[in-house]
Structure 1
Amino acid sequence: MPALLPPPPPPRAASRLLAPTVPHLARLLLTHAPAIPPLLTAILPASPSLLTPLLSHLLLSHSPPLPALTLFRRLLDLPHFPVPETSLPVLLRLLARSRRHAPLSFQLLDSLPSTHPHLLSVPALSVLLSTSLCASAPGASYAAAVTSFESAAAAWARAGRSFGASELNALLRVFCARGRVAEARALFHRYRDAYPPDTRTFNTLLLGFKEAGHAQALDLFYHDAVLRGFVPDAVSYCVRMDALCKKGRFLDALHLLDEMRDKDCTPTLQVYTTLIYGAGIARDAARARRLFDEMERSGVAPDRGAHNALMGAYVRAKDLQAGMALMGEMERRGIGLDDVTYNTMLCGFRRVGDLEGIWKIYSKMVSSGFMPRTRTTMLLMKVFCENGRPDLGLELWDYLIGKGCVPHRHALDVLVTGLCCRDVVAEAYRCFREMIEMGMAPTERAFGVLEGFLKKKREFGKIEEIRQMMKAAQLEEHQNEEEEQEAA
């Protein structure tokens, strides 16, 4: 395997000279928790549009939810602060990650009709219903979701908001997303008279059958709905195509494209993207490229998702040079690279053992200032540490911390193990402390590895220090939770 090139200097130091950005605000909030820094309450009222990106950053970086909730409530209390509608679903997702904080979501939503009715939206309802389903025991989750749905209908009514097919679709999606299609169909029959369904309702159920792998049930439901007057649209065809592609029936999916045209149903961007993805599953990169070119000739502009689907087809066919060329094409067209783009190419290079290719992608990602999601962070951390380069894992760690991101606990596990095995215990100790200082408690596994190597170096003072820090972090989290519940 070719050796990785020397890493560039971390870009973190230069960023301190710039004006506060979302990563800086996130770091400021986490390091001052549970207090709210005055800078935040000065910046956000002047720039309300920063609230949703800030909450999204905290969500993607696996930050603890209580600082975000405290900040959100403080902003709700400001008399003329226009809380963005998009901010509430992100906050609810933050709270939903922990079962201990799930009840706070319901209490928060119940307080909004009289003060901020505009925040009651379908995305917020979707997160609320999903939280209700996850927080309940398996046998009681159906009843809990029904109760939450009907409570939401009452809250929407108090706020003077309409409640109909879109909200019913949100309820069905929650069950379909978990493969519980039979219960979704039962809910459809239960509420279809009160909330008359639309085309999206039928497509939601079709999607549920597809995601559950019930291809035969999907066909039966589809044809029965058509007999009852349902007129399929491009989304309906897209769902059926995706089901066929995932069953290895790519040619049958292509026949549906001809059927669409015969019925004057114009193929959309999603339809072409689905077929390109299906060609990738079939490892037919040439057909994927032809579909991509056909899409452009038809006047449908390919977006990032379509490019990523084509890139996935190249990677499955092990044509990584074509994948890199497509990445360059995306940049020339002004189409931003996202985590799917980076992760697709990184997985491709990892599969063939090309560490130099991984380094090129990583360098591009860091130089552009992109913040990877957890799966990409974990992939890079494992590649670096498993190939004897924990120094690069440390560079990645410092890069993420510098952007106000709290890396996942398992990333710390890998990094601490890699650094300690290379006798870089001091840096492992520093990273361990940084995670605690950012409000997250490391895993017992990371603590055990670090403790063992500190014992070998007879640094018993540091062992006692990190032990006390972990206890303090766990106690602080418990106390914050109790304070939030009392305040609610």
Structure 2
Amino acid sequence: MPQSLLLSRPSILSPYSLSILLSSHAKFQPFNSTIHLFDELRHSYNSAGLAFGVDEFNVLLRAFCVQRRMGEARLVFNRGFEPDVVSFNIRIDACCKKGRFLDALTVFDEMSKRNLSPTLQTLTTLVYGAGIAGDLPKAQELFDEMFERGLDVDRGAYNALMSCHMRVGNLKGGMAVMDEMVEKGIELDDVSYYTVLSRLKKLEDVCLVYGRMIGNRFVPRMRTVMLLMKVFCNNKRLDLGLQFWDYIVEKGLCLHCHVLDVLVIGLCGGGREDEGYRCFKQVVQSGRQPLDRTYRLLEGLLVKANEFKKLEELRDMMSRFMDLDTK
């Protein structure tokens, strides 16, 4: 949205349009230029009789924090506005994402000195930040503080604590957090499972979490599907790869060509081309086009095995996509 349009048409001013303009400006322009634009926008708001307060101030603050310009974000606090909880949450989030957990704690202390009560978002962000810093005791302390303050601890908070356990290699602790979620009726989501699975090194540990996921009839997102398929095929556990494939087919999950590619390469390398061909056919029947690499691998093996009927069928399947490309 052009800057001149916003300044000349106060009627279209809104937090959303303000966010677009200031974020773009903060990304490419120096601090003073962005502050000057902010002051011009404040004048436009005032001329239009629109309220201009802490919400707009937070838009400016977020614009610098998104760009990780933390020093300049601190200077924004001296703009004559009284920061609220959202203001501090923005700064804490930016510090944690930048790996500056001690700075985040300093901002948290400043928040307390202003008698602003932290929200669930505040403490959840700090737990994530403690995880990035590898400080499990502090993460647990912050997590416990949620209950002490009477906050309604949700799945995001538990996932943050679980992530911290997994980052420091504490599988037992991570699984304990998962168990506590189940006991309290908090449904595990893809973040929960991926958080644990992505940090595991041993196949038996992956199988343990995988078994729990399948036992709960949970339908994972594609990143988790891809992660598991790579683990199974890289460890020559083609039985688990096929079992998992059939599970996602049964659940109606979109059959991704890259997942198929990993599985087919594993199956063909293990002398199980027929099963690879079956999976390939399922993807085509779902209306998705497999990777050319997957097709060439199967084509070469079918030629070598003199499986001319299947070869003809394979080429016919792929020709459908080629016909669509030429239309």
Aligning the two structures, in what range does the TM-score lie when normalised by the shorter sequence?
0.7 to 0.9
Output the CA distance in 2 between the equivalents of 1:212 and 1:438: 42
1:252 matched to 2:252? The reply is: no
Q: Which residue of 2 aligns with 1:405?
A: 253
Q: 2:232 aligns with which of 379, 384, 388?
A: 384
Per-residue deviation at 1:362? 0.9
Q: Paired residue for 1:216, among 57, 62, 71? A: 71
Q: Is the 8 A contact 1:417 1:446 kept in 2?
A: yes
- 1:473 maps to 321
* Alpha-carbon displacement from aligned partner over 1:46-74 (angstroms, at most 9, x marks no partner): xxxxxxxxxxxxxxxxxxxxxxxxxxxxx
Give TM-score, length-normalised by structure 2: 0.85
Matches within 5 A, 1:313-462: 313-349=164-200, 353-462=201-310
Separation in 2, partners of 1:168, 1:236 = 19
Q: Note the C-alpha offset of 1:168.
A: 1.7
Task: Find the aligned partners of 2:191 and 2:150 in 1 and give their Cα distance.
Answer: 25
Conservation of the 8 A alpha-carbon contact between 1:441 and 1:474:
no
Q: CA deviation at 1:267?
A: 0.3
Q: In the aligned structure 1, how far is the partner of 2:29 from the partner of 2:310? A: 55
Unaligned runs of 5+ in 2: none
| 1:163 CA drift (Å) | 6.2
CA apart distance, 1:319: 0.9
Amino acid at match of 2:58: N
Give the C-alpha shift of residue 174 in structure 1.
8.2
Letter in 1 for 2:65: K
Q: How does 1:154-169 map to 2 (within 5 A)?
A: 164-168=13-17
Amino acid aligned to 1:165: S
Equivalent residue in structure 2 for 1:309, among 160, 179, 183:
160
Answer yes or no: is the 8 Å Cα contact 2:143–2:161 preserved in 1.
yes
| TM-score of the two chains, using structure 1 as the length reference | 0.58
Deviation at 1:190, TM superposition (A): 8.2
TM superposition shift of 1:243: 2.4
What CA deviation, in whole Å up to 9, does each residue of 1:119-172 have, x standing for no partner? xxxxxxxxxxxxxxxxxxxxxxxxxx659x99xxxxxxxxxxx96524425645
- The change in CA–CA distance for 1:182 and 1:256 in structure 2 (over 3 A counts) is same
**Residue identity in the other structure for 2:17:** L
> What SS does structure 2 have at the residue aligned with 1:318?
coil
- Does the C-alpha gap of structure 1 residues 287 and 422 become closer, same or farther in structure 2, counting only changes over 3 Å? same
Deviations, residues 345-390 of structure 1 (Å, cap 9, x unaligned): 11122xxx22111111111111222111121111100000000012
Letter in 2 for 1:398: D
Say how many residue pairs are matched. Answer: 314
Change beyond 3 A, Cα 1:315–1:465: same
In the alignment, is the contact (CA less than 8 A) between 1:436 and 1:473 conserved in 2? no
Letter in 1 for 2:310: K
Counterpart AA for 1:213? R
For residues 187 and 450 of structure 1, the distance between their equivalents in structure 2, rounded to whole angstroms, comes to 60
Out of 253, 268, 280, the residue aligned to residue 131 of structure 2 is 280
Amino acid at match of 2:90: V
**Inter-CA distance 208–444: structure 2 relative to 1 (3 Å threshold):** farther
Unmatched segments (≥5 aa) in structure 1: 1-144, 151-161, 480-488
Report the Cα offset of residue 334 of structure 1. 0.9
Higher Rg of the two aligned structures: 2
Distance 2:108 2:73 in 1: 18
Measured against aligned partners, the alpha-carbon deviations of 1:228-276 in whole angstroms (never above 9, x if no partner) come to x333222221221122234443222112222112212210011101111
Q: Take 1:443 and 1:399, find their aligned partners in 2: how far apart are those partners?
A: 22
Deviation at 1:427, TM superposition (A): 1.2
- Tell me, yes or no, if the aligned pair for 1:454 and 1:460 is still in contact at 8 Å: yes
| C-alpha RMSD of matched pairs (Å) | 3.0
Following the alignment from structure 2 to structure 1, what is the Cα–Cα distance between the partners of residues 325 and 84? 49
Does the aligned pair in 2 maintain the 1:439–1:473 contact within 8 Å? no
Instruction: Mark the CA change 1:237 to 1:441 in structure 2 (over 3 Å): closer, same or farther.
Output: same
Q: Give 1:431's aligned amino acid.
A: C
Contact 2:123–2:146 (8 Å) recurs in 1: yes
Give, in angstroms, the shift of residue 316 of structure 1.
1.1
Secondary structure of 1:203's counterpart equals helix
Asked if 2 retains the 8 angstrom alpha-carbon contact of 1:281 and 1:313, the reply is yes
Cα distance in 1, alignment partners of residues 307 and 218 from structure 2: 37
Higher RCO (CA-CA < 8 Å; seq separation 6+): 1
Q: 1:165 to 1:361 in 2, by over 3 A?
A: same
Give the superposition deviation at 1:215: 2.4
Q: 2: distance between equivalents of 1:396 and 1:181?
A: 46
**C-alpha displacement of 1:474:** 4.6
SS at structure 2 position matched to 1:348: coil
